[in-house]
Homo-oligomer: A and B are copies of this chain.
């Protein structure tokens, strides 16, 4: 559903063909969406079938290039967009973190190995945080807020991971015995 919203939202700003759309999404939105090319093409056709998009004439057809299907949003599409926007903004999704399942059974691992894996995870999260911080563009406008969302989230993940690591370390110490 947020995928439809994305496509409608982008086409609301400018008519585009699938290839350009996918290019833009890959370059500028990859950090916040996971829509894949075939899905985008499929959804474009479906949204057009449903009357939310309409195929328009290619404003600058390039010769010796495959023909392209340029889409524009229709008035019904605008209405649909607003509807999805409100729905999506109100929906409070309960996210699930796959890693939680590992944490729940962390005692099944030798503490040493657990710590090594957790530190590796920490490094990976830090790397991602850096790469998002260094992302060019998105310096202004609403997209900045989305970048901030991911930065805030990664920082919170790191805080929590530190807590997990501390916990494993105390477990480890307890196991060695406080008598040592």
Contacts and interface: CB of A to CB of B under 8 A. Distances in A.
A117 to B, nearest CB: 5
Q: Interface on chain A toward B: helix, strand, loop, or mixed SS?
A: helix
A153 B97 CA distance: 10
Contacts of A114: 89
B95 A9 contact: no
Number of identical protomers: 2
Given A33-B96, A156-B156, A103 B142 contact: yes
Given A104-B146, A142-B106, A145-B167, A99 B93 contact: yes
Given A82-B109, A89-B102, A105-B142, 15 more contacts: A2-B99, A5-B102, A6-B104, A9-B105, A29-B104, A32-B104, A34-B96, A81-B105, A81-B108, A82-B108, A88-B98, A88-B99, A104-B142, A107-B141, A155-B156
Interface of A: 1-2, 5-6, 9, 12, 29, 31-34, 81-82, 85-86, 88-109, 114, 117-118, 120-121, 124-125, 128, 141-143, 145-146, 148-149, 152-153, 155-156, 159-160, 163-164, 167
Q: Closest 5 A-B residue pairs measured CB to CB?
A: A156-B156, A2-B98, A89-B102, A2-B101, A9-B105
